[in-house]
Amino acid sequence: MVESLSVPTFRVGYSMITDKLDALYKKVKSKGVTKTVLLVKAAAVALTQHPVVNASCRDGKSFSYNSNVNIGVAVALEGGLLTPVLEDANKLDIYLLAQKWRVLLKKARMKQLQPNEYNSGTFTLSNLGMFGLDKFDAILPAGQGAIMAVGASRPTVVADKDGFFSIKSEMLVNVTADHRIIYGADLAAFLQTFAKIVEDPESLTL
């Protein structure tokens, strides 16, 4: 965390409708798939289309593209915080991701994670929406290009392009990024892709 203070970061927020994602979650939660796992998969798919957001700057001078999409997920444990990593999250279906996540969570709670299971992340997701928070900013992990902070889905009055109002569930995502690697346009494009997946998530089950 102290090391991250020397990194020039910037933050971007993006809101998206989660009605279809919520409906998908209701279908798959009986199979052990959590909302966090769905968000990890959506982020992984988006990162494959925007690899600069998955890049790293480890020496402070140059950046490198990561060939793997390894997503760390922030987990609050008694006395601290860990980020177990779902490696190659873009290559695994949501059911296998869920299975791997359960194993990692159990190992984290028993303090049995191996170093490669928590320090190999190329991107991090922090979901405090499950605690009812609307929005927050996350501290960028050292050596990663970006971290996504996910708030809760809230019923919101939304106007369509024709001016008609309806109530939809809306979620705010804030991303903190390393400005040495990622520019505003890069992050905006990534978040637009991520939002499209969240708002039409059937591809996540393929």
The dihedral over CA atoms of 22, 23, 24, 26, expressed in degrees to the nearest 10, equals: 90
CA distance linking residue 136 with residue 151, whole number of Å: 7
Q: What sign does the dihedral 81-15-200-21 (CA atoms) show?
A: positive
CB 43 within 8 A of CB 121: no
How many other C-beta atoms lie within 10 A of the C-beta of residue 67? 9
- Give the type of residue at 116: N
Annotated catalytic residue 179:
yes
CA distance linking residue 159 with residue 24, whole number of Å: 24
State the catalytic residue, choosing from 91, 134, 179, 200.
Answer: 179
E strand or H helix at 46: helix 35-49
Q: Which residues are catalytic?
A: 179
